[in-house]
């Protein structure tokens, strides 16, 4: 029957057979539909509008079915024709994302410290009072704990007498975690995010990264600290970097210093450092009579910006791919 042939035709994959069937039904001169159209003339006058409408519906539907059958055969090309592929046209290169400059810096710093024998460890960004303050010799009434200087969370700590948890304000927290779980000698670095409600400007952001270094062993001195920092900075910035210590104060180191580095004839401060305070060693159960150590904490953004000549920290964080693609 006609409907069976129609069904077979639109379900098979030979373009030639499909076309023959299309001509049989929709052909302009002698297609079945043309014949049906002639029959419309004999329809009673009052039924003509309805019959004409129905005829057009059937015609449109058949055309659609043939078209989609043709599309199936040609893979969806326009009007059933196979679209020509011009292999000589230049290709469209997909835009590749890449590693963020801060992540690149972190990987590189980790690598450099690894070669100096420091293994990388991580600590949580949500910290308790004990690791962010108490064990670091920052007592309850210390101004560093001011709610205006920290992002406190509405979650009580599970241990160490409760107290509100907070987003860590420094990576020095990791010193405590490592010493609590390990016996000396210790030789670690920790790189990660820290948070402070600082006013944002060219050199300050409310979220930034620090690299923390800690070495605890017998007979560790300030000279070891300076030597490691010099090797570290020279490897990262390139060339010979001079290190300068300026007296400072941190509750968890004694003595404490600000670390300046001279690179390309300019001195710049990169962070703090010092000899681990005996109170900190005691807090983690070490004997300050037997071991000593040094610790340092530097700004990762500051290192990255110095090396690449970036003059505003905000460039690193406003997701402008034109800027980021340079690195
Ligand atoms: C500290 O955070 C100490 N924990 C460092 C330390 C570690 C001292 C171990 C002794 C022993 P400070 O608050 O100065 O120190 O921060 C260190 C560095 O972090 C700064 O020198 C700066 O490079 C960077 N930094 C501080 N605040 C911001 C900020 N808002 N945005 C970007 N970088 C910052």
123 Cβ closer than 6 Å to some ligand 1 atom: no
Q: How far is the CA of 172 from the centre of ligand 1 (A)?
A: 10
* Residue 90 neighbours by CB distance under 10 Å: 5
Average pLDDT over residues 69-84: 66
State the distance from the centre of ligand 1 to the C-alpha of 156, rounded, in angstroms: 26
Terminal Cα-to-Cα distance of the chain (whole angstroms): 70
What is the phi/psi pair of residue 216, to 5°? -125, 130
- pLDDT tens digits for range 95-154: 888 899 999 999 999 999 999 999 999 999 999 999 999 999 999 899 999 999 999 999
Predicted confidence (pLDDT) per residue in 194-227, tens digit:
999 999 999 999 999 999 999 999 999 999 999 9
Which of 168, 164, 146, 144 is CA-nearest to residue 156? 164
Question: 81 pLDDT band (50/70/90 cuts)?
Answer: low
* CA dist list (Å): 16 to 9, 73, 95, 204: 10, 11, 42, 72
Tally of CB atoms within 10 A around 238: 11
Distance CA 166, CA 196 (A): 10
- CA-based R_g, the chain, Å: 37
Check pocket membership of 213 for ligand 1, CB cut-off 6 A: no
pLDDT above 70 covers a percentage of the chain that reads 97
pLDDT score recorded for residue 80? 47
Helices (H), 75-171: 101-115, 129-132
Out of 228, 297, 306, give the residue to mutate to test ligand 1, the one with the largest number of ligand atoms within 8 Å of its CB.
297
pLDDT range class, residue 82, cuts 50, 70, 90: low
Segments of 264-305 assigned E as strands: 266-276, 292-299
170 within ligand 1 shell (Cβ under 6 A): yes
**203 HSE (CA, 13 A, CB side):** 9
Question: Is the omega angle on the peptide bond into residue 185 within 30 degrees of 0, that is, cis?
Answer: yes
Q: What is the DSSP string of 222-253?
A: HHHHHHHHHHHHHHHH-SPPEEEEEEEEETTE
Q: Work out whether strand 126-127 and strand 151-156 pair parallel, antiparallel, or are unpaired.
A: unpaired
Q: How far apart are CA 261 and CA 269, in angstroms?
A: 6
What would the pLDDT profile of 271-320 be if each residue is shown by its tens digit? 999 999 999 999 999 999 999 999 999 999 999 999 999 999 999 999 99
Cite the DSSP H helix spans in 12-100. 15-26, 32-39, 48-74
306 lines ligand 1 (CB under 6 A): no
272 lines ligand 1 (CB under 6 A): yes
Of 236, 230, 189, residue with least CA distance to 211: 189
Q: Are 291 and 68 in contact (CB under 8 A)?
A: no
Question: What residue's CA is closest to ligand 1, atom 22?
Answer: 299
Indicate whether residue 295 lines ligand 1 (CB < 6 A).
Answer: yes
pLDDT tens digits for range 263-279: 999 999 999 999 999 99
Mean pLDDT of 22-31: 88
Dump pLDDT digits (tens) for 230-269.
999 999 999 989 999 999 999 999 999 999 999 999 999 9
Would you place residue 73 in the very low, low, confident or very high pLDDT band (cuts 50, 70, 90)?
confident
Each residue of 260-276: b (16+ CB within 10 Å) or e?
bbebeeeeeebbbbbbb
pLDDT in the model for residue 189: 98
Please choose from 272, 280, 307, 315 the residue to mutate so as to test ligand 1's pocket, defined by most ligand atoms within 8 A of CB. 272
Q: What is the DSSP letter of 145?
A: G
Q: How far apart are CA 301 and CA 209, in angstroms?
A: 7
């Amino acid at each position: 029957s006609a409907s069976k042939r129609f069904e077979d035709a639109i379900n098979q994959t030979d373009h030639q057979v499909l076309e023959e069937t299309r001509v049989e039904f929709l052909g302009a001169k002698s297609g079945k539909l043309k014949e049906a159209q002639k029959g419309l003339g004999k329809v009673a006058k009052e039924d003509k509008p309805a019959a004409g409408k129905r005829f057009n519906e059937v015609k449109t539907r058949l055309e659609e079915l043939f078209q989609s059958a043709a599309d199936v055969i040609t893979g969806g090309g326009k009007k059933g024709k196979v679209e020509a592929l011009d292999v000589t046209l230049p290709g469209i290169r997909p835009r590749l994302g890449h590693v963020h400059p801060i992540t690149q810096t972190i990987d590189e710093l980790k690598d450099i410290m690894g070669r100096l024998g420091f293994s990388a460890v991580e600590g949580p960004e949500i910290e308790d009072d004990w690791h962010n303050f108490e064990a670091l010799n920052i007592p309850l009434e210390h101004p560093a704990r001011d709610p205006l200087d920290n992002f406190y969370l509405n979650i009580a700590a599970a241990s160490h007498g409760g107290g509100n948890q907070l987003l860590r304000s420094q990576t020095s927290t990791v010193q405590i975690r490592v010493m609590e779980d390990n016996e000396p000698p210790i030789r670690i670095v920790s790189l990660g995010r820290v948070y402070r409600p600082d006013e944002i400007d060219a050199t300050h952001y409310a979220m930034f990264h620090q690299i923390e270094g800690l070495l605890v062993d017998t007979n560790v001195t300030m000279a070891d600290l300076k030597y490691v920092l010099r090797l570290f900075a020279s490897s990262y910035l390139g060339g010979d970097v001079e290190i300068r210590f300026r007296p400072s104060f941190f509750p968890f180191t004694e003595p404490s210093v600000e670390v300046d580095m001279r690179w390309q004839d300019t001195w710049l401060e990169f962070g703090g450092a010092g000899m681990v305070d005996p109170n900190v060693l005691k807090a983690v159960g070490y004997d300050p009579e037997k071991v000593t150590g040094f610790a340092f904490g530097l700004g990762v953004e500051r290192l990255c910006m110095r090396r690449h000549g970036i003059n505003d920290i905000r460039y690193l964080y406003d997701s402008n791919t034109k800027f980021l693609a340079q690195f």
